[in-house]
Amino acid sequence: MALLLFSLRHVPDDEADDIRDLLVENQLNFYETTSGNWGISMPAIWLSDDQEYAKARALIDEYQEQRRILLQAEYQQLKQSGEENTFFKNLWRNPAQTIVFIAAMILVIYISIKMVFEFGL
């Protein structure tokens, strides 16, 4: 029976490619499912052989730990150089988009609160 090895929902393409390459390099048999036309199915990598699950899980866990360390180091470097993305930097670079998003959030909050008071009275 196939076992779910790695969910691909909200996973960056480069990470998914790395996981596929890792499994191929270690000669582990797997198959992949997509989210389908409507995006409601489960995109994932499934392991064909139950006996190889522990090995595959250990490889993926080690890869993810290395990736976490690398990404944290990159973020710290961006933070030290002052290049990390913040709200005010985003406001400066894309003022119209930021203002539209804030206006949309205010509108949703206003409608939500208005509906509660209208139904409650």
Place of tokens 């690398």: 70
Half-sphere exposure of 70 (CA within 13 A, CB side): 7
For the chain, the structural domain boundaries read 1-84, 85-121
Q: In this predicted model, what pLDDT tens digit does every residue of 58-76 receive, in sequence order?
A: 999 999 999 999 999 999 9
Question: What value does the mean pLDDT take over residues 4-25?
Answer: 96
pTM of the full predicted structure?
Answer: 0.71
**Mean pLDDT, the chain, as a whole number?**
93
pLDDT of residue 105: 97
CB-based contact 31:42 (threshold 8 Å): no
What kind of architecture, by CATH, is found in domain 1-84?
2-Layer Sandwich (3.30)
Instruction: Give the single-character DSSP code of 84.
Output: S
Q: In this predicted model, what pLDDT tens digit does every residue of 29-55 receive, in sequence order?
A: 999 999 999 989 999 999 999 899 999
What lies within 8 Å, CB to CB, of 79 at 6+ separation is none
CB-based contact 45:63 (threshold 8 Å): no
